[in-house]
């Protein structure tokens, strides 16, 4: 999908360190899809003026909760109830994480998942295989069954009753039996949960869009996609990864 001449909608994207590091991934995907965005690095506060701009979707990814004042938390909740979207993507500073601290905050409470009040990071050396759990515009038609991607880690959150779990990450113990790998199921974690809050859509993706937690998902698909947002290094990623995150962002923003 080439960049369009007029932006489809506007995103306020906060986190993933800086544009020239981890944020280059999601920024590249947004640029590739022709979606305009304003960006705030993980170590900067969101200012009131920026939050008052006409964004259709707020994305928080590795962005600590205390960077937003109480007043701005309330503004976000109000904007979502009136029709804006809210997407949290996992990471060491997302959900609870190590310094994310979204549990017990107005924005955290709006998400379709319950957030732990202790470190919820799961850095996993065992296979975490993605499994589709429900039909939905974000996930339908992608080859979850015939070519499921793996992720490398996630925040351990719980889906809220009434919200919809689209994907889980299934964890397996792995061992070699001569030349055959043997997998034994050992845990299941919510990976993508979506919901509705008033007129707005909310989504929680518990793994990351960027290394290292994104894992092999970043290379999902046979075709390679090269993209580069201004101020970033540029990315080269899989086409199915690109399609999945573009759909996630578009749906949460209220777009088809």
CB 8 within 8 A of CB 35: yes
Q: Give the C-alpha separation, 219 to 208, whole Å.
A: 13
Judged by CB under 8 A, which of 106, 148, 198, 254 binds a copy of itself?
A: 148
Decide: is 172 part of the binding site for a copy of itself (CB under 8 A): yes
Classify strands 36-40 and 10-15 as parallel, antiparallel or unpaired: parallel
Judged by CB under 8 A, which of 8, 36, 126, 136 binds a copy of itself?
A: 126
Angle at which helix 239-252 crosses helix 23-32, to 10 degrees, equals 80
Q: Provide the 3-class DSSP secondary structure of residue 78.
A: helix
Q: Closer to a copy of itself by CB, 198 or 216: give it.
A: 216
CA dist 128 to 17, 160, 189, Å?
25, 22, 9
CB 65 within 8 A of CB 100: yes
Decide: is 227 part of the binding site for a copy of itself (CB under 8 A): no
Q: Closer to a copy of itself by CB, 85 or 153: give it.
A: 153
DSSP state for residue 117 in the 8-state scheme: S
Give the nearest distance from C-beta 156 to a copy of itself in angstroms: 14
Options 5-13, 48-56, 57-65, 236-244: segment touching a copy of itself (CB under 8 A): 236-244
Q: Closer to a copy of itself by CB, 15 or 127: give it.
A: 127
Residues in contact with a copy of itself by CB under 8 A are: 21, 123-129, 131, 144-150, 152-153, 170, 172-176, 179, 181, 183, 185, 211-212, 214-221, 224, 236, 238, 240-241
């Amino acid at each position: 999908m080439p960049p369009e001449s007029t932006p489809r909608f506007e995103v306020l994207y906060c986190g993933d360190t800086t544009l020239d590091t981890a944020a280059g991934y999601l920024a590249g995907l947004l640029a590739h899809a022709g979606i305009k965005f304003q960006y705030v690095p993980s170590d900067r506060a969101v200012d009131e003026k920026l939050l008052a701009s006409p964004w259709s979707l707020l994305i928080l990814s590795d962005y600590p909760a205390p960077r937003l004042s109480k007043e701005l938390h309330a503004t976000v909740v109000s904007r979502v109830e009136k029709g804006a979207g809210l997407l949290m993507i996992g990471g060491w500073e997302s959900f609870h994480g190590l310094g994310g601290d979204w549990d017990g905050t107005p924005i955290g409470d709006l998400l379709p998942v319950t957030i732990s009040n202790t470190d919820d990071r799961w850095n996993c050396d065992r296979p975490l295989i993605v499994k589709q759990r429900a039909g939905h515009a974000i996930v339908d038609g992608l080859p979850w069954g015939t070519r499921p991607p793996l992720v490398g880690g996630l925040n351990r959150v719980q889906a809220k009753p009434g919200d919809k779990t689209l994907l889980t990450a299934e964890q397996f113990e792995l061992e070699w039996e001569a030349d055959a790998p043997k997998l034994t199921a050992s845990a299941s974690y919510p990976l993508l949960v979506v919901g509705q809050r008033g007129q707005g859509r909310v989504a929680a993706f518990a793994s990351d869009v960027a290394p290292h937690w994104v894992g092999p998902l970043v290379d999902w698909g046979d075709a390679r996609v090269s993209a580069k947002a201004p101020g970033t290094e540029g990315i080269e990623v899989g086409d199915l990864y690109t399609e999945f995150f573009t759909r996630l962002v578009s749906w949460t923003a209220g777009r088809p």
